[in-house]
Amino acid sequence: MVFVSRWLPASLPALLLPVLLLLSVAASGQRVLVGLKGGGAFSKAIGADATASRLRLGGTAGLLLRLELPAGLALQAEGLYAQRGDNGSTYGFSLGHRLDYLALPLLLQYHRDGLFVEGGAQYGYLWRTSPNEPPVFRLGELGFARRDLNFVAGVGFQDSSGVSVGWRYVGGLNNVFRPGEISGTGQRQLRNSSLELYLNFVFEPRQMGQLTVATGRGIGRGAVGAARLLGRAPGALYRAARQVGRKRPAAPRPAPAAAPAPPAQPD
């Protein structure tokens, strides 16, 4: 229990609130979609002091829940594992780490003719950090802020099958380091910044249920048919063997001898 309490963010109810809101609104009869999400992310630090930050290639993956509203609008909540940070190593002027977040975006979307735009906010909880190089000047021991607030803006395209591709920018709103962690001329200002390219697949929950039921029925019918076949096989083999034993081929009969030709009559 102690480990769980340390691992979970203190504001876990704030993470679950958008999802609960979507589910409660869905009860009013609006169409709800669920889906999978994955893609890549180019991340670095931004801010007045992020002069030595370099791009880092990372990834993002997770689940999404979308509530379709009238007039082409939709409300979408996501639960993601997202990699941030940079490839820098300069103390105080880069992040110098890969930062792994558990992120929860809440987005408002507008869909028309397959195209969509989206915007909203994202809350991130810092799960773990990995330094780019061995610790220098306590670089590996710097205190990062556990909470990361961002704004989100993006565009994309979704086809009729539920597959969509999109571009999204996620910009940090708060300093990545805790106050007082970096010495020098005042507090260094470095925030997360990420450009994401992603692939989604969405579907209605009932479709998955129907597919599961159909698959289960097919497997069940196949198993029953195989069991019946295996149960009948020994008896069929026994009957076939008896038929072969009873119906032995008869010995061939000798051909009848040819009758002698009659004697010739004198003229």
- Asked whether residue 104 is domain-assigned, the answer is yes
* Whether the predicted pLDDT of 189 surpasses 80: yes
- Asked whether residue 133 is domain-assigned, the answer is yes
* Mean pLDDT of all residues belonging to the chain: 80
Domain, as residue range, for 189: 11-205
- Asked whether residue 226 is domain-assigned, the answer is no
> How many independent structural domains does the chain possess?
1
Per the confidence metrics, is the pTM higher than 0.85?
no
- pLDDT band of 7, cuts 50, 70, 90: very low
Residue 206: the pLDDT is 76
What backbone torsions phi and psi does residue 162 show, to the nearest 5 degrees?
100, 0
* Whether the predicted pLDDT of 16 surpasses 90: no
How far are the Cα atoms of 95, 126, 153, 207, 235 from residue 86, in angstroms, in the given order? 6, 15, 21, 41, 72
* Distance in angstroms (rounded) separating the CA atoms of residues 140 and 175: 17
- Asked whether residue 116 is domain-assigned, the answer is yes
The mean pLDDT of 46-60, rounded to a whole number, is 94
Report pLDDT digits (tens) over 70-109.
Answer: 999 999 999 999 999 999 988 789 999 999 999 999 999 9
- Asked whether residue 264 is domain-assigned, the answer is no
- Asked whether residue 35 is domain-assigned, the answer is yes
- Asked whether residue 237 is domain-assigned, the answer is no
User: Which CATH number covers residue 84?
Assistant: 2.40.160.20
If you compute the radius of gyration of the chain from its CA atoms, what whole number of angstroms results?
Answer: 36
Residue 18: the pLDDT is 57
- Asked whether residue 224 is domain-assigned, the answer is no
